[in-house]
Structure formats: structure tokens, C-alpha cells
Amino acid sequence: MELLLKGVFQALGKSTFAHRMAKKYGLRLGAARFVAGETIRQSIDAVGRLNADGRMATLDHLGEFVTSGEEAERSADMCLQTLDAIAESGVLSNLSLKLSSLGLDIDRELCARNMKRILDRAREHGNFVRIDMEDSAHCQPALDIYRSLRREYDNVGIVLQAYLFRTEEDVKEMHALKANLRLVKGAYKEPPGIAFASKKDVDDNLKRIICLHLLNGNYTAVASHDEAIIDYTKRLVSEEGISREAFEFQMLYGICEDLQKRLVREGYRVRIYVPFGIDWFGYFMRRLAERPANVWFVLRNLLN
Ligand code: FDA
């Protein structure tokens, strides 16, 4: 049953019809637990609330289905406005984005140009931008663009996913770039030929790449709500004498709030991924697919 629900949410997340319906019905579907709002103002307010108890943020303007160059440029403009709003409000947040929303599937040059506009603006504000990782079809193109940007910019990082067989090698290669990596388990449905299928294998690989990247002396964002992964990281940094400035824990907005706050109290750097915007449906479906039990929470919201 759980696997079936997972598949349904993953398919819905890719359906344009479902995206259209969701836009029509707004955040009432229960997505408000995971999405900070539809406007920049609402998202900045949400970050302010997180900052108040010591949590930093990374803002993500949601939008994955871009079908024209104009849409990609509009999406890049939203990133610029978000960076400006962060600077004006003084909240502690950087920016996360998806290359497909900047035109990766339309024209790689256009996507790279959009990224440079964003990184230039971030640099003006002394801020940092992280490239989220999408499904495996986008992995190599995203890494290629990241590599070329990294030569010019030191305020850009990327994400690697522990469920892909290739990732351990990618982490090793990223060492040459001194890459700032966010390491995650991976949120997309991938074929068994390229990805670990069992939770244990994914977890073991995540621990392996966290260890590799940290011991190589590179800044590492450990992005997981899994207490076993978090405890592993705490033990590793303590045994190896790694400074608390060399890494951070990251979690998603609305998930495991108590754990987020506990880590702040224990003195760790904690950053919350705060998504906002009208294109929230695909993101919402991925959160439901990760944990189909969330569907009861959504149904309760609809019935109330
Ligand atoms: P796991 O899935 O094993 O969950 C551990 C525990 O966390 C669960 O038992 C539950 O208590 C809680 N939990 C996890 N997910 C939950 C949910 N949706 N609702 C409620 N509770 C939940 N992926 C990707 O492919 N590309 C990316 O760029 C990113 N970026 C990213 C940024 C940040 C800050 C985070 C935290 C995660 C991502 N991810 C991602 C998603 C990631 O790949 C993964 O799908 C989720 O983090 C869930 O995996 P966990 O490591 O939390 O472990």
C-alpha cells in the first residue's frame, strides 16, 4: 500500500493537469505545512520566524516546469528579487534553485546565463546560491554547469544524492573544486540500474559520502531528518575534531521541527529549506511520496 501511494504521488508530481488544479485550489490542500506561502513577502516572514530561534534558511522559489526561454528568464528574475528581499530584510537566508526552472531543458547556454545573473547578484549581496539536484536525467548536465560556474564563482554549491551509484565518484571529483555540497538521500523515482533500492544501502552510502567530503576538508550540508544519519555525523565530527563551522545540518520547512530546534540548542548550525511560490504542487507531492503517512494530515486539513 505504501509503495502504491508513493508511486501515485510521484506520478501526480509530474502531471501538468494536477499542477493546474493545484494552482486553482491554492495551498488549502494541506501544502501550507510544507510551503511557506505563495509570495516573497510571506516567505521572508517565515524565515524571520525561523531566525528568531536560531535557525538559518535557504529560500527556494518553486517552479520546475519551464517551457520557454521567457519563462526561464522570469524564473531567474524571481531569484534576483528573492536575493534582493533577503538583503533588504536582513534575514539569514541564502537561495536554493533548480536548473530546470532556469531553462536547462531548453538551452544550456541560456540556463548558464541565467545562473550567472543570479550569482552576480548574490555576490553583490555577499550571499550564496545552492543548485538543487533533480532526477538522474539532469544530474550530468547540472554537474557540468556547476563545474564551469565554480571556476568563476565561490558563492555556488550543489546537491548530490546518496541513492545514485555514481555519487561516491562524483563526491571524490568535487574535492578538486573544493565544492560546498549538500548531501541528501534523493527524492526522485529512479530505475534500479542506476540507484540503490534499499533504505539500508542508501543510508550506508549517505554516511560514506558525508565522511568522505568532511574528511577531505570541504564544507558539507548534511540534509536529512534521519536521526541515525544526524547521530553518525555528530560522532564523526567529534571523533575527527572537525569544527562546527565546517558543516551544517539542513532540514525541510515543516518537518521534524523539534529535532531542528534541539540541534540549534546543542550548538549546531541548522538551516531550513523554505520553499515558496505558486508552483508548489510538485514539491508537495515529493513530500507525500517520501512519507505517505502525511496523507492523513492532508485529509484532516481538507475535512476541517
Ligand atoms: P528518511 O526518508 O529516512 O526519513 C527519516 C525520518 O524523517 C522519517 O522517519 C520521518 O520521521 C522524517 N521525514 C522524512 N521525510 C518526511 C516527510 N516528507 N514528512 C514528514 N516526515 C518526514 N532531494 C533531492 O533529490 N534533491 C535535492 O536537491 C534535495 N534537497 C533537499 C534539501 C534539504 C534541506 C533536505 C532536508 C532534503 C532535500 N532533499 C533533496 C530530499 C531528500 O533527498 C530526501 O528525500 C528527504 O530528506 C527524506 O529523507 P531523510 O534523509 O529525511 O530520511
Of 9-13, 168-172, 290-294, the poorest mean pLDDT is in: 9-13
pLDDT over threshold 90, residue 64: no
Is pLDDT at 261 greater than 50 in this prediction?
yes
Q: Give residue 295's identity as a one-letter amino acid code.
A: V
Judged by phi (left if over 0) then psi (alpha if -120 to 50, else beta), residue 272 lies in beta
| CA angle (72 as vertex; 70, 75 as ends), nearest 5 | 110
User: Is there an atom of ligand 1 within 6 Å of 254 CB?
Assistant: no
Cα(109) to centroid of ligand 1, in Å? 31
- Between CA 43 and CA 59 the distance in angstroms is 8
b/e burial code for range 85-124 (CB count within 10 A of at least 16 → b): bbbeeebebbbbbbbbbbbbbbeeebbbbbbeebbebbbe
What is the average per-residue pLDDT within 198-211? 98
The CB of 159 under 6 Å from ligand 1? The reply is: yes
What's the one-letter identity of residue 168? E
How many angstroms separate the alpha carbon of residue 7 from the centre of ligand 1? Answer: 17
Identify the pLDDT of residue 119.
98
pTM value > 0.95: no
Fold of 36-279: TIM Barrel (3.20.20)
CA 2 to mean position of chain CA atoms: 24
Q: Which of 121, 130, 150, 182 is catalytic?
A: 182
Determine the pLDDT at residue 284. Answer: 85
Instruction: Indicate which residue's Cα is closest to atom 18 of ligand 1.
Output: 287
Note the pLDDT of residue 282.
81
Write out the three cell numbers for 189. Answer: 523515482
**Nearby residues of 208 by Cβ (< 8 Å), 6 or more positions away:** 168
Return phi, psi of residue 271, to 5°: -125, 135
- Tens of pLDDT, residues 95-121: 999 999 999 999 999 999 999 999 999
> pLDDT at position 304, please?
47
Contact 62, 279 (CB under 8 A): yes
Quote the CA–CA distance of 43 and 2 in Å, as a whole number: 32
How much of the chain, in percent, has pLDDT values that exceed 90?
Answer: 78
Task: Report CA torsion sign: 251, 257, 259, 265.
Answer: positive
The protein residue with its alpha carbon nearest to ligand 1, atom 3, reads 226
The C-alpha atoms of residue 65 and residue 32 are separated, in whole angstroms, by 21
Q: How far is the CA of 260 from the centre of ligand 1 (A)?
A: 13
Domain segments of the chain: what residues? Answer: 1-35+280-304, 36-279
**Per-residue model confidence (pLDDT) at position 30:** 73
